[in-house]
């Protein structure tokens, strides 16, 4: 790069609404490379051609509230024999005063010095057949000059595709997994059904066993308990009938109230 700055570079930055100081060194490199490649292919190099074979993009790193802009090649055009990374490249930047010595005859009022968040959009017209032929000529020449770059790009493309396909394919289990859910034996809800207990001519359903409660003193024979259960009444009636027919009285079970024989209708 030399002074005054190339008219094409100043015009490119002015048309996209960005300051020259906000462009990375990659923009200068692509511009010089495209000009040299076009000269080798006997193609006229101008700003219109450069804007159609490159894309101006914002970088990933912030510098305060702004980012720098770089260019990327389009239409399969490649180039090699350059340093991919330049450590501390910002240290090589310097600023000059806008004057005829630095910008030549370019109008100073068209030069933007303030940084912006994004460049002005580029309205590309549909390329003509002649322009497409230029794209193809530059691409084919660059592939012949740097075949190793083409091979590297193709390998990286295949690796990205394989990684993408590997993530999208579902894992196949080694053994088939049954989709049926195991049967779970459900516990019965509510009270358990009790078997009926026959008592003489009356069938009274038995009830869940309750804790035995010791009775210290039985109730008077002439006043039976109104809360006495029907099953207990039927059992005592049967016990009383056996007692009257037997010569030896049976022992009354513990915790049971003995009923008067005269009790009843």
Predicted confidence (pLDDT) per residue in 120-150, tens digit? 988 888 889 999 999 999 999 999 999 998 8
Q: Determine the pLDDT at residue 136.
A: 95
Residue 82: left (phi > 0), alpha (psi -120 to 50), or beta?
beta
pLDDT of residue 256: 46
Instruction: Tell me which of 256 and 154 has the higher pLDDT.
Output: 154
- Of all helices (H) and strands (E), which one includes residue 199? strand 196-199
36 vs 180, more confident: 36
pLDDT at residue 61, rounded to an integer = 86
User: Is there a contact between 22 and 115 (Cβ–Cβ < 8 Å)?
Assistant: yes
For 43, which DSSP code?
-
Exposed/middle/buried for 204, CB within 10 Å: 0-12, 13-18, 19+? Answer: middle
Summarize the confidence of residues 65-90 as an average pLDDT. 82
* pTM check: above 0.75: no
For the chain, give the mean pLDDT. 75
Q: State pLDDT tens for residues 200-227.
A: 544 444 455 555 555 555 555 554 454 4
Distance between CA atoms of 40 and 166, rounded to whole angstroms?
Answer: 43
């Amino acid at each position: 790069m030399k002074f005054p700055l190339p008219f094409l570079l100043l015009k490119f930055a002015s048309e996209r609404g960005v300051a020259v100081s906000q462009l990375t060194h990659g923009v200068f490199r692509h511009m010089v490379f495209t000009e040299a490649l076009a000269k080798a292919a006997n193609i006229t190099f101008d700003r219109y051609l450069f804007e159609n074979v490159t894309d101006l993009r914002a970088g990933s790193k912030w510098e305060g509230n702004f980012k720098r802009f770089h260019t990327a090649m389009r239409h399969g055009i490649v180039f090699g024999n350059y340093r991919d990374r330049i450590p501390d490249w910002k240290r090589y930047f310097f600023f000059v005063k806008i004057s005829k010595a630095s910008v030549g005859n370019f109008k100073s009022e068209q030069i933007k010095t303030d940084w912006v968040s994004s460049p002005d959009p580029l309205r590309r017209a549909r390329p003509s057949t002649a322009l497409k032929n230029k794209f193809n000529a530059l691409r084919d020449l660059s592939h012949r000059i740097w075949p190793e770059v083409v091979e590297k790009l193709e390998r990286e493309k295949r690796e990205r595709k394989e990684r993408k396909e590997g993530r999208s394919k579902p894992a196949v289990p080694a053994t088939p997994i049954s989709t049926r859910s195991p049967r779970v034996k459900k516990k019965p809800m509510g009270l358990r059904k009790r078997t009926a207990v026959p008592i003489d001519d009356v069938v009274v359903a038995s009830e869940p066993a309750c804790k035995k409660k010791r009775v210290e003193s039985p109730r008077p024979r002439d006043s039976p308990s109104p809360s006495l259960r029907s099953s207990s009444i039927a059992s005592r009636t049967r016990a009383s009938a056996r007692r009257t027919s037997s010569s030896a009285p049976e022992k009354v079970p513990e915790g049971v109230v003995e009923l008067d024989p005269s009790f009843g209708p």
